[in-house]
């Protein structure tokens, strides 16, 4: 039983693609929960997609507090967070439903208008794939890994670095789960389409980082 959490912050104009990818799964997730963390651009979605659950926050909690609040509400055995600007392959939940370990990772297809910038950030880690880029993430962290809910709740979402810009709460979760003996398996399948686009950077004007310096954390980022 898998809950998929769609996390959005100013991605309301991109979210339909993500929602459609989940509603068209060959095996549907047990629960789809869409969370807008105070972006105020997702109010139109419940009228279009009334069959999923929504949390439309009036205040921005920020990545860590938002994800921690959501995680505390999950009841299914497994949970997967996905950014509203990304989407899943149509058989992703079917394949992930066979999970028996604490963490299940899988590969990523990098797409979008700024996909080529991944070549600067992780040189040599991707290969051309059907006009996009294939990123091997075998047994490695990424923002939309599937993990056992109870294990994650025991640790919770926390900041890994106190830099004010990239709290990287999903990295902290990964680190601590491994330290506490979490079992990990991996699928050699590109199940997540990771969209790299200008809004990843334009919506945070206070950041001085260039796009190629931005962390992969934006896969999860609200």
Structure tokens at 180: 């506490």
CB 120 within 8 A of CB 213: no
DSSP code at position 62: -
Q: What is the pTM of this model?
A: 0.88
At 200, the pLDDT band (50, 70, 90 cuts) reads low
Supply the pLDDT for residue 201.
Answer: 60
The domain that holds 18 is classified in CATH as 3.90.550.10
The 10s digit of each residue's pLDDT in 138-197 is 999 999 999 999 999 999 988 777 665 555 678 889 999 999 999 999 999 999 999 998
Supply the pLDDT for residue 216.
Answer: 38
Per the structure, how many domains does the chain have?
1
Supply the pLDDT for residue 192.
Answer: 98
The 10s digit of each residue's pLDDT in 49-62 is 999 999 999 999 98
Quickly list DSSP for 125-168. SEEEETTEEEE--TT---TT-EEEHHHHHHH----S--SSS---
Spatial CA neighbour of 74 closest among 35, 105, 100: 35
Side-chain half-sphere exposure of 134, counting CA atoms within 13 A: 13
Supply the pLDDT for residue 130.
Answer: 96
Domain ranges, residue 27: 2-219
């Amino acid at each position: 039983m898998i809950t998929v959490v769609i996390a959005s912050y100013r991605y309301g104009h991109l979210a339909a693609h993500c929602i459609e990818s989940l509603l068209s799964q060959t095996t549907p997730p047990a629960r789809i929960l869409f969370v807008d963390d105070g972006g105020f651009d997702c109010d139109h979605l419940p009228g279009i997609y009334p069959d999923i659950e929504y949390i439309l926050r009036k205040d921005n909690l920020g990545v860590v507090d938002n994800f921690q609040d959501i995680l505390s509400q999950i009841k299914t055995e497994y949970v997967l967070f996905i950014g509203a600007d990304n989407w899943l392959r149509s058989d992703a939940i079917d394949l992930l439903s066979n999970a028996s370990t604490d963490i299940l990772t899988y590969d990523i297809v990098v797409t979008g208008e700024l996909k080529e910038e991944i070549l600067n950030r992780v040189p040599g880690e991707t290969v051309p794939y059907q006009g996009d880029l294939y990123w091997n993430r075998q047994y490695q962290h990424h923002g939309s890994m599937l993990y056992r809910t109870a294990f994650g709740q025991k640790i919770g979402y926390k900041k890994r670095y106190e830099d004010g810009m990239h709290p990287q709460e999903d990295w902290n979760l990964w680190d601590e789960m491994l330290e506490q003996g979490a079992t990990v398996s991996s699928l050699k399948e590109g199940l997540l389409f990771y969209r790299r686009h200008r809004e990843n950077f334009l919506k945070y004007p206070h950041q001085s980082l260039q796009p190629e310096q931005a962390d992969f954390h934006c896969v999860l980022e609200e």
